[in-house]
Amino acid sequence: MMRILINRIIAAICLFCFSNISFSQGLVENELTTNHIIISKYEQIKSSYRAPSLSDTIILGVKGILDDFSGNGPYPDTAIWLDNKVFINRDFAKAPISLGVATFEGLDYNGFPYDFTAGSTTSAVADFLTSKPIHLNNPPSDSVYLSFFYQPQGNGNAPEYQDSLVVQFKNATSGWKNVWAKRGTTLPATDSSWSLAMIPIADTAYLKDGFQFRFYNRATISGNTDHWNIDYVYLNKTRNINDTTFEDVAFVYKTPPLISLYSAMPWKQYSASDMKLNYTTTIRNNHSVTKNGSFKYKIYNDLGIQVNTTYSGGSFNIDPFSTSGYMNYAAFTNPALNFTIPLLTTASRYTIESSISSTPDNDRGNDTVRFVQDLTNYFSYDDGTAENSFGLSTLYAQLAEKFTLNVADSMQYIDIYFNPFLTNTSIYSFNLHIWTDGGGAPGTVVYIGSVAESPEYGMVMPNQFIRYKLDAPVYLNPGVFYVGFKQNTNQFLNVGVDKNTNTQTKIFYNVTGSWNASPFFGSLMLHPVFGSAAEFTGLTDTESITGKMVVYPNPANNQLFIDGFPPAKKISFTILDLLGKVVITNSVYTNFIDISILESGVYFIQMKDEENISTVKFIKVN
């Protein structure tokens, strides 16, 4: 059902949108159509989706209402907000005030466009973020202010001039009234600034029980575009126009990986030299005065057991961001890693948890961050979230990404996140390619997929990555290699891009016969997947992957007998080692195969005749 829905959406985009787009040569940045994080989450919770409710109200209290959106998301905190429309995330903002923001765009709570037939130049009401009713029974002399920080575009798409961000107030008896608005604008590429809005609530009509406020945006409602980010929404009494700082020391960004080059890598490829020597964090003091704070981190294995000695940076004075910028004390922001992941014998996972502490601190939600370091079977530079996409509009154009093997290994699959935009590209095709290094750019082609693949947009894997199987495992020696595709169309086959990491020097495109490095900031969401066939099948020594073929004896010495195929038929077979390297390929008309030339070890034999195909693991002994 999900894949059907997505295909309908992209088909509608093809029919109704972007008909006047002019195509150009070279690598192009294109906006997103959907939000794969929200789609995934909504599929998990849709049976228990919370409809808006006015049944409970908020008592302002001493601390007032404060939300810096540092929760895990992707939906707003139900203790404060009634809507599920905006996207709570740690990805779309540049240099947020603290960890996490609320992002407004043109998508509904399910991650799909509100109206996928809307034109790309139109602007309509899109997301709402509505507070619960608030007990605001205050005297007029008791100054009440709503404040928040806002940023157009961030890492996403700039809202146009006809787009806007709006704030409305409502009391218990009247309707919603506009009290503040800003028109869309572009954030310069080198700019990461935020603006602060301070809105007084002085009208006695609002200083009663049942007061509500809400944000909404106007945007193109046919895609994940026209982004506004807001942070640090704060409502309280006894404030004034100069009450613009917050007693809060906060993390700003997500925790980075433990290894140097990748966010994830195959466990077989890991070596101690891949570990970072230092661990970088970004800390910001949002108050107007220096605050004393402390920092520590812990590292846990996949069983939840702490594997390092708890690191402590001690205590240190953190100056205000307004006067000194981000914290730069090395013991807090660039401490040495006191742990090295040991040599691995299987896939592993480690979690690093960093925390800061200062007293007093009005927001503890942004004081702890975690990163899960996966050492599994694939290489990844990106953080798993797309904020944009790259595409080529030239027939037979090629797109590639650079990786490095520490030891020889066999590639089995390539995982790609495609973004549907401009056209229904699932009707177009490409062929997977693997290249050797050609002096800093893709060189000799060592693999071309025999099957013309097409982009897919279903929930096949987490975050909408689609797994493409190679014709046969490709054995690669240690060193640099490149993975990508050659497209058989002049339509954009847009691959998702993570804008929070930057490996543009490892992204290459070819539209004229020569390779060029990417001119754009970001990391391509394309993952080469490695390992032996056994790692993807989980077989015992005598189990068959497909079909009913049985080989014996197992272990075998010089001959391997076959049972399960009809007699007197030609049988083609391929024998691969545990790394997926082909060591024998041939055809026979008998029920046995000579394996005397094989060295002792574990192998896979794949066999097929006119009607059957089967793969079995066996052991060769001398």
Structure tokens at 127: 């997301």
What pLDDT, in 10s, does the model give residues 156-191?
999 999 999 999 999 878 899 999 999 999 998 888
Residue 16 predicted with pLDDT over 70: no
Can you name the residues that pair with 298 across neighbouring β-strands?
353
Q: What is the pLDDT of residue 537?
A: 52
* pLDDT over threshold 60, residue 452: yes
Interatomic CA distance for residues 101 and 112, integer angstroms: 20
Q: How far is residue 543's CA from residue 537's CA, in Å, rounded to a whole number? A: 10
Alpha-carbon span 432 to 469, nearest angstrom: 10
Q: Which of 224-233, 448-457, 565-574 has the lowest mean pLDDT?
A: 565-574
pTM exceeds 0.75 for this model: yes
Phi, psi at 133, each rounded to 5°: -60, 145
3-state SS, residue 334:
coil
pLDDT of residue 464: 73
Rounded to 10 degrees, what is the CA torsion of 147, 149, 150, 156? Answer: -140
Which residues, 6 or more positions from 358, have their beta carbon under 8 angstroms from its beta carbon? 249, 291, 292, 293, 294, 318
- For residues 276 and 567, what is the distance between their CA atoms, to the nearest angstrom? 58
Taking the C-alpha atoms of residue 214 and residue 208, their distance in angstroms, rounded to an integer, is 17
Distance CA 352, CA 82 (A): 33
Distance CA 443, CA 420 (A): 30
Question: What b/e sequence results for 193-219 when a residue is b if at least 16 CB atoms lie within 10 Å of its CB, and e otherwise?
Answer: ebeebbbebeeeebbeebbbbbbbbbb
- Check if the beta carbon of residue 246 is closer than 8 Å to that of residue 286: yes
Q: Is the pLDDT of residue 373 over 60?
A: yes
Asked if 391 and 509 touch (Cβ cutoff 8 Å), the reply is no
Q: What is the pLDDT of residue 421?
A: 59
Instruction: Report d(CA 387, CA 97) in Å as an integer.
Output: 19
- Sorted by sequence, the CB contacts under 8 Å of residue 133 that are 6+ apart come out as 54, 57, 58, 172, 209, 210, 211, 212
pLDDT of 145 over the 80 cut: yes
Three-class SS of 42-85: HHHHHHHCCCCCCCCCEECCCCCEEECCCCCCCCCCCCCECCCC
pLDDT digits (tens, 9 = 90+) for 32-69: 888 888 887 876 676 555 555 666 678 787 788 999 99
d(CA 38, CA 603): 42
pLDDT of residue 46: 63
Peptide bond into 133 cis (omega under 30): no
Rounded CA-CA distance 214/573 in Å is 66
SS3 504: helix
Domains (ranges, CATH) in the chain? Answer: 33-250 (2.60.120.260), 260-376 (2.60.40.10), 388-531 (2.60.120), 535-620 (2.60.40.3080)
pLDDT at 539 over 70: no
- E strand residue ranges, 424-503: 430-437, 442-448, 466-476, 479-487, 495-498
Q: What pLDDT is attached to residue 579? A: 64
Q: Check if the beta carbon of residue 37 is closer than 8 Å to that of residue 111.
A: yes
**Hey, which bits of 258-366 come out as E strands?**
264-266, 283-285, 291-300, 311-318, 348-358
Gap between the Cα atoms of 356 and 282, Å rounded? 11
Question: How many Å apart are CA 184 and CA 575, to the nearest integer?
Answer: 61
Long-range contacts (CB closer than 8 Å, 24 or more residues apart) made by 461-464: 461/415, 462/40, 462/384, 463/36, 463/37, 463/40, 463/384, 463/385, 463/417, 464/36, 464/39, 464/40, 464/417
Q: Is 55 exposed, middle or buried (0-12, 13-18, 19+ CB in 10 A)?
A: exposed
Q: Does residue 11 register a pLDDT over 50?
A: no
Please report, for residues 98, 244, 391, 558, the alpha-carbon distance to residue 282 in angstroms, rounded to integers and kept in the order given: 10, 21, 32, 62
Q: What's the confidence (pLDDT) of residue 172?
A: 75
The pLDDT assigned to 546 comes to: 40
Alpha helices, H only, 478-619: 533-537
Distance CA 19, CA 27 (A): 20
Residue 333 has pLDDT above 50, yes or no: yes
Tell me the residue ranges of DSSP E strands in 282-347: 283-285, 291-300, 311-318
Closest CA to 75 of 67, 62, 87, 92: 87
Residue 103 has pLDDT above 80, yes or no: yes
Average pLDDT, the chain: 86
- pLDDT at 364 (0 to 100): 87
Residue 600 pLDDT exceeds 50? yes
Chain-centroid distance of CA 40 in Å reads: 12
Q: pLDDT over 90 for what percent of the chain?
A: 61
What residues have CB less than 8 Å from 608, skipping those under 6 apart?
Answer: 571, 572, 573, 614
Which pLDDT value is given to residue 565? 56
Mean pLDDT of 107-111: 91
Is the pLDDT at 529 greater than 50? The verdict is yes
User: If we measure between CA atoms, which residue out of 86, 89, 82 comes closest to residue 50?
Assistant: 82
DSSP letters, 157-215, are: -PPPTT-EEEEEEE-SSS--EEEEEEE--PPPTT----EEEEEE---TTTSSEEEEEEE
Contact status, residue 499 vs residue 606, Cβ threshold 8 Å? no
Cβ neighbours of residue 233 closer than 8 Å, sequence gap 6 or more: 65, 66, 67, 68, 102, 146, 147, 148
* Of the listed ranges 347-351, 440-444, 563-567, the one predicted with least confidence: 563-567
* pLDDT on residue 24: 55
Task: Give dist(CA 451, CA 431) in Å, integer.
Answer: 7
Instruction: Pull the structure tokens for residue 414.
Output: 């390539």
Looking up tokens 């590292």 gives 299
The SS3 assignment for 40 reads: helix
Residue partners of 175: CB distance under 8 A and separation at least 6:
none
